[in-house]
Structure 1
Amino acid sequence: MTTVPGSPVWELVKKSKYFLIKQFGNSNTKVPFSKEPNNLYNVHSYKFLGLANSKTVAVQPSAGEDKAVVLSTTKTKKQNTPTKLQHKTLMRKEFRKMAKSVKN
């Protein structure tokens, strides 16, 4: 299985209504947001597209534990194997230590 470069993926996904959410911003104009996986800022643009970029980060709450976070990143050298692409880490530290490690 080979991976597709990011620009053709963006051309296919940018008009898709599956991930697109339009909400009102500061004024009466609608701002496009996206709900796709690995889109950290939820902005509907090529820069933040989680499906097309080789390096992505996602932070989600843990399902089983309270005050735990799952940090998932993509491995750049495993782009041809989708099952090994995501690296997930469960973090149970206090908030400041978790924020520092996510930033790093």
Structure 2
Amino acid sequence: MATVPGQLIWEIVKKNNCFLVKEFGNGTAGVVFSKEPNNLYNLHSNKHSSLANKKTVTIQPGKDQPDLKKAALARLCVVNKSLNVAKSGPKKKNRQAVKILSRK
């Protein structure tokens, strides 16, 4: 079986594959991610693609390393915080009159 060069594979899969995730940002600017296995940065690029490169690295937890659970939960918290979009613009001040009741 003949081997296919990685650059040719990248040209075939770079615009459309099942791992492609497109996120739209401000205006027309968009960010493209990839859900490929062995893609450690989750970036859709030739450099990080596990489909087009032969040498890839993956990280899998071992059966006897429960200490990785805390690190995974910490990363999950950071990712969840980054997904919460802050409202832009200045905060509105409460301009309602505050009544002070005095007891006599």
Give the shorter-chain TM-score range.
Answer: 0.5 to 0.7
Q: Which has the larger radius of gyration?
A: 2
Per the normalisation by structure 2, the TM-score is: 0.52
Q: Aligned partner of 1:21: which letter? A: V
Q: Percent identity?
A: 55
Per the normalisation by structure 1, the TM-score is: 0.52
Runs of 4 or more consecutive aligned structure 1 residues displaced over 2 Å after TM superposition: 92-96
Instruction: From the two aligned structures, give the one with the greater strand fraction.
Output: 1
Partner in structure 2 of residue 33 of structure 1: 33
Gaps of 5+ in 1: 62-66, 69-91, 97-104
Residue 48 of structure 2 corresponds to residue 93 of structure 1: no
Q: How many residues align?
A: 68
Partner in structure 1 of residue 2 of structure 2: 2
Partner in structure 1 of residue 22 of structure 2: 22
RMSD: 2.6
Partner in structure 1 of residue 42 of structure 2: 42
Match of 1:31, SS state, is strand
Match of 1:36, SS state, is coil
Q: Aligned partner of 1:44: which letter? A: H
Gaps of 5+ in 2: 69-104
